[in-house]
Amino acid sequence: MIASKDVWAGLMFIAFAALFAVAGAKLRLGSAGVMGPGYFPMVLAGALALLGLGILGRAVAVHIVAGGARKLPLLESARVRIDPRPLLVLLVALVVFALLVGRAGLVLTTLLVAVIGSFAGTGVRWPQMLMLAAFLSALTYVIFVAALAMPLPVWPRGW
Amino acid sequence: MTRAIRWAGVVACLAALIGPASFASAQTYPDKPVRLVLPYAPGGIVDFIGRTLGQRLSEELGQPFVAENKPGAGGILGTDVVAQAAPDGYTLLLMDPAIIINPTLQENVPYDFKKDLKVVSVISSSPLVLVTSPALPAKTFAEFLAYAKANPGKLNYGSAGIGTTPHLAGELFSARAGAKAMHIPYRGIAAAFPDMMANKVQFAFSSITGAKPFTNDNRVRALATTGTKPSSAYPDLPTVAAAGLEGFDVDLWLAVFVPAATPEPIVAKLNKAVAAAIADAKTVEAFAKVGVEPRGTTPAEGNAIVAAEFEKWRKVIKDGGIKQP
Amino acid sequence: MDLWSNLALGLSVAASPENFVFCLLGCLLGTLVGVLPGIGPVTTVAMLLPLTFSFDPVSGLIMLAGIYYGAQYGGSTTAILVNMPGEASSVVTAIDGHRLAQQGRAGAALGIAAIGSFIAGCVATVLIALAAPALGAVALQFGPAEYFSLMVCGLVAAVVLAHGSVMKALAMVVLGLLLGLVGTDVNSGVRRFTLGYPQLAEGIDFVALSMGIYGIAEIARNLEGRDETRAVRTRIGSIWPTRRDLVFCLPAIFRGTVLGSILGVLPGGGALLAAFAAYTVEKKIARPPRHFGEGDLRGVAAPESANNAGAQTSFVPMLTLGLPSNPTMAMMIGALMIHGITPGPSVIRDKPEMFWGLIASMWVGNLMLVVLNLPLVGIWVKLLQVPYRFLFPSILVFCCIGAFAVNGREFDVYVLAVMTVVGYLCAKLDCEPAPLILGFVLSPIMEENFRRAMLISRGDPSVLISEPLSLAFLLAALALLFVLVLPAVRVKREQALQE
């Protein structure tokens, strides 16, 4: 189990390293003495790739030593249990917040985001949830608008 | 009949096109709160001047002028907010020379300051001050100039970052003096002072507020200011121009801008209010605390000044090879 | 002795009814914004700065200072209760603090954090009174080479924070370093990795990053299917730390205070480095060491003390040198200048009532904070009994507002979403986030200073070892790396052979 997590971790780091290497490919490198903007990121991306390879390599090696003839740990990825539903619901809630807050204001947006977010959990009880959302909406008003007087959009635009 | 309808359509279209502007009448302006966008974070000079000005303008025109910080991307984000705002006089911008330096220096600057914005008034002037490491033998500007000429490629100068006025002033000095000085950028000018005290960096053109804490007790040496006349913050220092580099003029001016399509009567009304606000003794006193002197121009003068500054700095940036790939 | 007359003068200023109220106000506000995710002292001080223009400068300064160190007290609360550090420095507190909360010892952790902060605050106050100029001089010893070497040392130490694989921790540090480079490169003005978004020109917002990686990614994990145990915390132990806890933690508190006081004066990440360093030191020298990372009170006491001591000594270079060590201090310099006061060595001589008044107010403020915070512990602990289905939508909402409110732009909420995914992936793959955060915060300082050192030396890297202080840090980093890697290799080999 640990082995397969490490395999994925190694791959993740290699992917991040590749991402930064590609995104930074156009940056001028310069030399170690007079560095351009691309030098430090490239060195780091290289280091990250090496570390990723190291993690991956060790995971595979440990697996071979320990597991003998078993299949490659990549196939055991199921052991990294992922239940994507809560994550996806939360991401939707975040995007809704970003889309709405400028237009609908803080009070309504918080209400809606709390409702949407609640569906990340299991067994939603509507009355309780609505009460919580209303409470949170009121609380944010009290804290951010009344107490801290932050310059935030509070009500829908044009009201 | 059909013709009448067609005409009505044309009129309606025209009304829609010029609508926002035509409703903003100069007589009633302002009849609701006005936004004054400050493209920098709170705590700096632009923030302080903006808030002081906003308060004075509220008193002049009877509506709140609300200072609003929109920091980001060296002022580009806040400037763009105003460039895209409705040209009705309810969104103003207070900005420094970065507004005309950024378009030359940066890629993909979203606004065109000539097409999208126009000047209400250049409200203030503030010179930079040339400070040097106390370890240098030069005690006056003339000596320093001679020293810089005699040591090409050996001196370092600090700045508040690439493309900031202290950087461009240093570049201009280096070119005029033939000093070939090395630019060492810092995140804000304050960070450069410890290295200047240790003589790792030999000189810098600093904002007055940045330099004051260090020049008060001579931990670094102040040699000259960069305006056309001596600064009230450093009355004993000569100007760079008077002390040896003729025509050397670097000014950290501040100007109020509005979207370019803002009706002239509103601009005129604002210009009058701004002029009254900065003539007020309390404003002068508040500005002086941060080394800023009130200026005040007509819109036409202001636009000419800003256009001239654009050309001046564009040349320094091009000649100095400051823009890097 | 001078010290006493100075402190007496300070106390007379700080204890005037007006200043007392301002100090209390600052501490209250600070605690509030410290507890709220996202809205930190920088935002609050920025908001209130214009207000203080009309105050007496001493009163204004006392209030702003109260916000600043009050927020350090409050910052640990969410870190311990819901594993959501609002400030970079409370990232360390969260490691052991949140484990303690899960074990039903949230009260003890919060109590120790408050007491440790108080002791650190008192010691730091006396230290400043005794040796302000000497402390200020520390900041001047640091040129670009010294900063770079110190950062290297700090990053190697970051690996100690993780209690899993050294390689993964190192990889997380490097990933953090890369993320920290997003934005405008100070040395060339070029924008790196901004993907064309001008909103990224000043880098990824720290609040969005940490709220995503800690706050929301944690909710996503807690809500997953069978993993109920993490969410439900039934056992609430004793609310207060016991006398034994206190004695147990006292050495850690003092070591943290000393480290924090020294590192706090360094510009850029000083207080943060202090918290990390204090934790690292405890983990390496405290006996018995085995509980670190699994809920050791000393893992809360040391960084919280360091953090608070550092917050206090960071005023020293600001006041006595005119050198701001962080954005909050830069704003305070602005506030002073507007009042016509030029910070610098002459401040102590010319404005003794302001300097000593501020120092004394810090002590007064610390007393207020501990009085304020200890009773609050009871309330906070009760908060943990709120069912998770109510708690998590609240955290979600506060994270959203926190990320949004820092710069008032929607973009940062999208950044929050992306960072949530990154944090979720890392957590799923047993990669701990604390080293990433440290790398993220320190990488711009590290790169900038390295390149600055090279520019000044005209490309000669020997400056890094010819400056004695720089050499010392590099050697320390090397030694630390050696100590770290050696046992890890041995243990891993044994594990592999056993399996």
Quick one: A98 and A67 in the same domain? no
Indicate which of A48, A77, A88, A112 best probes the interface with C, i.e. most C CBs within 10 Å of its own CB: A48
Quick one: A6 and A68 in the same domain? yes
Q: How many CB atoms lie within 10 A of CB A85?
A: 16
pLDDT at C418: 96
Span B237-294, pLDDT tens digits: 999 999 989 889 999 999 999 999 999 999 999 999 999 999 989 899 888 888 899 9
Helix runs in chain B, H state only: 2-23, 45-61, 76-83, 98-105, 113-116, 141-150, 165-177, 192-197, 208-215, 240-243, 264-279, 281-289, 299-319
Of C285, C322, C294, C272, residue with least CA distance to C444: C272
Determine whether the interchain pair C345/B76 forms a contact, defined as Cβ–Cβ distance below 8 Å.
no
- Which residue's entry shows tokens 């564009």? B314
C461: buried, middle or exposed (CB in 10 Å: 19+, 13-18, 0-12)?
A: middle
Is there a contact between C82 and C233 (Cβ–Cβ < 8 Å)?
no
From A39, A61, A79, give the residue that closes a domain. A79
ipTM of the predicted structure?
0.91
Determine whether the interchain pair A151/B324 forms a contact, defined as Cβ–Cβ distance below 8 Å.
no
Using a CB-CB distance cutoff of 8 angstroms, which residues of chain A are in contact with residue B68?
A: 151
Quick one: A90 and A51 in the same domain? no
Span A57-81, pLDDT tens digits: 988 887 777 665 455 544 444 466 7
From A38, A59, A79, give the residue that closes a domain. A79
One-letter amino acid identity for C382?
K
pLDDT at A78: 40
In Å, how far are C130, C131, C273, C308, C359 from C123, measured between CA atoms? 10, 12, 19, 10, 12
Using a CB-CB distance cutoff of 8 angstroms, which residues of chain C are in contact with residue A65?
A: 496-497, 499
- Closest CA in chain A for residue B66: A151
Q: Reply yes or no on whether the pLDDT at B26 is more than 80.
A: no
SS3 sequence of chain C: CHHHHHHHHHHHHHCCHHHHHHHHHHHHHHHHHHHCCCCCHHHHHHHHHHHHCCCCHHHHHHHHHHHHHHHHHHHHHHHHHHCCCCCCCHHHHHHHHHHHHHCCCHHHHHHHHHHHHHHHHHHHHHHHHHHHHHHHHHHHCCCHHHHHHHHHHHHHHHHHHCCCCHHHHHHHHHHHHHHHCCEECCCCCCEECCCCCHHHCCCCCHHHHHHHHHHHHHHHHHCCCCCHHHHCCCCCCCCCCCHHHHHHHHHHHHHHHHHHHHHCCCCCCHHHHHHHHHHHHHHHHCCCCCCCCCCCCHHHHHHHHHHHHHHHHCHHHHHHHCCCCCHHHHHHHHHHHHCCCCCCCHHHHHCHHHHHHHHHHHHHHHHHHHHHHHHHHHHHHHHCCCCHHHHHHHHHHHHHHHHHHHHCCCHHHHHHHHHHHHHHHHHHCCCCCHHHHHHHHHHHHHHHHHHHHHHHCCCCCCHHHHCHHHHHHHHHHHHHHHHHHHHHHHHHHHHHHHC
- Closest CA in chain B for residue A151: B68
Largest CA distance in chain C: 71
Quick one: A39 and A102 in the same domain? no
pLDDT at C489: 58
Task: Give the side-chain half-sphere CA count within 13 A for C328.
Answer: 25
Residue B7 CA, chain-centre distance (Å), reads 48
Span C460-491, pLDDT tens digits: 889 999 989 999 999 988 988 887 777 655 55
Give the one of A8, A132, A150 whose C-beta lies nearest to C393's C-beta: A132
Percent of chain B whose predicted confidence (pLDDT) is above 90: 55
- Closest CA in chain A for residue C386: A132
Q: Rounded distance, CA B161 to CA B132, Å?
A: 18
- Collapse the DSSP code of B238 into the 3-class scheme (helix H, G, I; strand E, B; otherwise coil) and give the result: coil
- My answer on whether omega of the bond before B259 falls inside 30° of 0, hence cis, is no
C375: buried, middle or exposed (CB in 10 Å: 19+, 13-18, 0-12)?
A: exposed
Q: Based on the structure, what is the number of domains in chain C?
A: 1
Determine whether the interchain pair C188/A32 forms a contact, defined as Cβ–Cβ distance below 8 Å.
no
pLDDT at C238: 64
Distance from the Cα of C174 to chain A's closest Cα (Å) equals 6
The tokens of C82 are what?
């819901």
Give the one of A80, A102, A110 whose C-beta lies nearest to C397's C-beta: A110
Span A12-62, pLDDT tens digits: 999 999 999 999 988 888 887 778 889 999 999 999 999 999 999 988 887
Bridge partners of B251, per DSSP, are: B127
From A38, A55, A79, give the residue that closes a domain. A79
Quick one: A35 and A7 in the same domain? yes
Q: Which chains touch A (3 or more CB pairs under 8 A)?
A: B, C
**In chain A, positions 67-96, which contact chain C (CB-CB < 8 Å)?**
80-83, 86-87, 90-91, 93-95
Those residues whose C-beta lies under 8 Å from the C-beta of residue C28, and which sit 6 or more positions away, are: C70, C372
| Sheet containing B117-125: order of strands | B65-69, B34-38, B91-95, B254-259, B117-125, B293-294
Using a CB-CB distance cutoff of 8 angstroms, which residues of chain C are in contact with residue A13?
A: 171, 175
Q: Rounded distance, CA B220 to CA C116, Å?
A: 40
The tokens of B77 are what?
């984000």
**Kind of pairing, strands B128-132 and B203-207?**
antiparallel
Residue C295 CA, chain-centre distance (Å), reads 19
Span C226-256, pLDDT tens digits: 444 444 454 555 667 888 888 888 999 999 9
Distance from the Cα of A26 to chain B's closest Cα (Å) equals 9
Determine whether the interchain pair A28/B68 forms a contact, defined as Cβ–Cβ distance below 8 Å.
no
**Kind of pairing, strands B182-185 and B156-159?**
parallel
Those residues whose C-beta lies under 8 Å from the C-beta of residue B250, and which sit 6 or more positions away, are: B127, B128, B165, B168, B169, B172, B205, B226, B227
Residue A134 within a domain: yes
φ and ψ of C237, to 5 deg: -80, -160
Quick one: how many helices (H) and strands (E) in chain B? 13, 11
- Collapse the DSSP code of B121 into the 3-class scheme (helix H, G, I; strand E, B; otherwise coil) and give the result: strand
Q: What is the mean pLDDT of chain B?
A: 87
Bridge partners of A30, per DSSP, are: A35
Determine whether the interchain pair C50/B290 forms a contact, defined as Cβ–Cβ distance below 8 Å.
no
Using a CB-CB distance cutoff of 8 angstroms, which residues of chain A are in contact with residue C39?
A: 148, 150
Q: How many CB atoms lie within 10 A of CB C186?
A: 20
**Kind of pairing, strands B293-294 and B117-125?**
antiparallel
Residue B194 near chain C (CB below 8 Å): yes
Of C448, C47, C65, C456, residue with least CA distance to C267: C448
Q: Give the structural domain span for C392.
A: 2-498
**In chain A, positions 23-42, which contact chain B (CB-CB < 8 Å)?**
28, 36-37
Same fold? B30-126+252-319, B135-243? yes
- Collapse the DSSP code of B158 into the 3-class scheme (helix H, G, I; strand E, B; otherwise coil) and give the result: strand
Is there a contact between B130 and B240 (Cβ–Cβ < 8 Å)?
yes
Q: How many CB atoms lie within 10 A of CB C376?
A: 17
Span B90-142, pLDDT tens digits: 999 999 999 999 888 887 788 999 899 999 999 999 999 999 999 999 999 99
pLDDT at C340: 80
Distance from the Cα of B300 to chain C's closest Cα (Å) equals 31
Span B76-85, average pLDDT? 90
Residue A151 near chain B (CB below 8 Å): yes
pLDDT at C137: 81
Quick one: A53 and A88 in the same domain? no
Q: Give the structural domain span for A51.
A: 2-79
Of C260, C262, C175, C185, residue with least CA distance to C450: C185
Residue A6 within a domain: yes
Distance from the Cα of A28 to chain B's closest Cα (Å) equals 7
Residue A153 within a domain: no
> Domain segments of chain B: what residues?
30-126+252-319, 135-243
Higher pLDDT, A2 or C162: C162
Give the one of A28, A37, A151 whose C-beta lies nearest to B68's C-beta: A151
CATH of domain B30-126+252-319: 3.40.190.150
Q: B124-138, B187-201, C79-93, C204-218: which has the highest mean pLDDT?
A: B124-138
**C323 dihedral zone (left: phi>0; alpha: psi -120 to 50; beta):** beta
Of C292, C264, C268, residue with least CA distance to C280: C292
Using a CB-CB distance cutoff of 8 angstroms, which residues of chain C are in contact with residue A33?
A: 454, 458-461
Q: Work out the angle at residue C130's Cα, subtended by the Cα atoms of residues C124 and C135, and round it to the nearest 5 degrees.
A: 70
pLDDT at A1: 44
- Closest CA in chain A for residue B67: A151
Distance from the Cα of B118 to chain C's closest Cα (Å) equals 23
Q: Based on the structure, what is the number of domains in chain A?
A: 2
Give the one of C185, C405, C426 whose C-beta lies nearest to A152's C-beta: C405
- Which residue's entry shows tokens 């917002």? C205
Determine whether the interchain pair C390/A132 forms a contact, defined as Cβ–Cβ distance below 8 Å.
yes
Quick one: A67 and A12 in the same domain? yes
Residue A158 within a domain: no
Span A100-149, pLDDT tens digits: 998 899 999 999 999 999 999 887 888 989 999 999 999 999 988 888 87
- Closest CA in chain C for residue A100: C410
Count of pairs with CB atoms under 8 A, one residue in A, one in C = 202
Quick one: A57 and A26 in the same domain? yes
CATH of domain B135-243: 3.40.190.10
Span C372-382, pLDDT tens digits: 888 888 888 88
Determine whether the interchain pair B187/C186 forms a contact, defined as Cβ–Cβ distance below 8 Å.
yes
Using a CB-CB distance cutoff of 8 angstroms, which residues of chain B are in contact with residue A28?
A: 324-325
